[in-house]
Structure 1
Amino acid sequence: MTGPEDDDPKDTLQRYLQAGREAVLWKLDGLGEYDVRRPLTATGTNLLGLVKHLAGVEAGYFGLVFGRPFPDPPAWMLHDEPEADMWATAEEPREDLVALYRRVWAHSDSTVAALDLDAAGDVPWWGDRSGVTLHLVLVHVATETHRHAGHADVLREGVDGAAGLRPGNDNLGTSGADARAAHVSRVEAAARRAAGLSG
Structure 2
Amino acid sequence: MAGSCRMIDEFAKDNLHGRLRRDREALLWKLDGLSDLWATEDETRDQIIGFYRRTWEHSDATITALPLDAPGHVPWWPEPCPNTNLFAVMVHVLGESIRHAGHADILREGLDGRTGLRAEHEKQIDDEARAAYCAKIEQAARSAAPIKAY
The bucket for the TM-score relative to the shorter chain is: 0.7 to 0.9
1:137 and 2:89 matched: yes
Preserved CA contact (<8 Å) 1:27 1:152: yes
Structure 2: stretches of 5+ with no match in the other structure: 1-7
What are the Cα deviations for residues 54-88 of structure 1, in whole angstroms up to 9, with x where unaligned? xxxxxxxxxxxxxxxxxxxxxxxxxxxxxxxxx21
Q: How many residue pairs were aligned?
A: 137
Preserved CA contact (<8 Å) 1:121 1:133: yes
The 1-side partners of 2:42 and 2:123 are apart by: 36
One-letter code aligned to 1:108: S
Q: Percent identity?
A: 50
Within a 5 Å distance, the mapping from 1:84-123 to structure 2 comes to 87-123=38-74
Deviation at 1:28, TM superposition (A): 2.2
Instruction: Classify the secondary structure of the residue corresponding to 1:168.
Output: helix
Preserved CA contact (<8 Å) 1:165 1:171: no
The 2-side partners of 1:130 and 1:109 are apart by: 21
Structure 1: stretches of 5+ with no match in the other structure: 39-86
Deviation at 1:178, TM superposition (A): 3.5
Moved over 6 A (4+): none
What are the Cα deviations for residues 103-152 of structure 1, in whole angstroms up to 9, with x where unaligned? 11011000000111111111111132211111110000010011111111
What are the Cα deviations for residues 2-45 of structure 1, in whole angstroms up to 9, with x where unaligned? xxx9x8111111111112211211122233xxxx223xxxxxxx
Structure with larger Rg: 2
Match among 76, 82, 88 for residue 125 of structure 1: 76
One-letter code aligned to 1:147: R
Deviation at 1:194, TM superposition (A): 1.6
Instruction: Classify the secondary structure of the residue corresponding to 2:120.
Output: coil
The aligned counterpart of 1:83 is: none
